[in-house]
Structure 1
Amino acid sequence: MQAGKTQKFKFSPSDGQYVNVLLLGENHILTVCEVEVYEVSEDMVAMIQSEGINVAPKGQATQSNQGSTACLSLAQNAIDWNRQYDLFKGSCTQTNTESDPWWRLVLMKTYTIVSVALTNRGDCCTEQLNGAVVHIGDSLESEGHANPVCDKVFFIPAGGTGKFRCDSALQGCYVTVGLPGENRTLSLCEVEVFRVPTE
């Protein structure tokens, strides 16, 4: 570790009440200027352990329009590691009512995607997500709707998380959730995108 620098160590979540920093060997002096320990929620642990590597939080999200609830319905809310399903608690996204609304995730590079998980609202309007289509690919043609289809949403229970495995792994840097039809409102409380492990 470089002098005066902070180094972060990442590992799988572990339960415990004690954190020990050991310096092995004889005649050593241990000096630590700061120790930071980060707690993760049960939801985050479930996401990490569920299917593999979720790359969604590394991306940038956008949507067809900004919902009327302003910051409570930002596109980025759907990739905040939080499956909270009440829109008014600030962890969901929502568009205004329109024809063919969409939400899109822009990943920093092309990944091989095997599955996508969507969390539905639980406070109301749970049927709004029925009929949504998940597209994955490297094209922005038709707002990403020209990319191959991973799967289609038929039903996700109120506040539930639906996991959709693509029939075959799809490569892409864009993940688009489109909701075909007129007078539709698209709301998502979490989007998780699982890639093929590279190790």
Structure 2
Amino acid sequence: MTVGDLTRDYRSRLAELLGEPLMVDDPLITTAQAAVLLGVEPQRVAGLVRAGHLPARSRSHRRLYLSDVVQSGLDQWMSVAEAGAVLGLGQTGVRRLISAGLLAAHGKELPLRRAEVEVLATLRDGWLTLSTAASALGVDVDEVQRLLRNRHLTHTCDVARPVYRHELAFVLAARR
């Protein structure tokens, strides 16, 4: 769906919600109306306004231009808890990934870009725990840690999954 199609859809839904036709091309709407149009909780829209990801045109009432709501791509942002659900981690685990530089935080309320979290989730599928890597190599965990320290394996910066799966083949080949 293009931005123009989305704008027309939201305009017609807003007119239906208000029960009257819209008189201006780009009306000011409330965060509650934006939430209804987008099918999300009003707190999520308010959080994006507070984080600066969605420009508010009136501070006291948090009025937004419909065009800003359409262009903001509210689905591009997620909270730490939502990221944890995608990554299969708790909030502490997500915060560790932020501290390690694997995810960039962009604010307090909804700090993470959905695309970044989804890319990291895909990457983490190819990362292994120390014990899984040790089993695949037929060594103990201490040997895997030694390989990481000696840079025979590259650390992923993820404390929970520090070993790249694809590097195990190189270590196995070097042993032969």
Q: Taking structure 2 as the reference length, what is the TM-score of the superposition?
A: 0.26
More strand by share: 1
More helix by share: 2
Structure with larger RCO (C-alpha < 8 A, sep 6+) = 1
Q: Taking structure 1 as the reference length, what is the TM-score of the superposition?
A: 0.24
Larger radius of gyration: 2
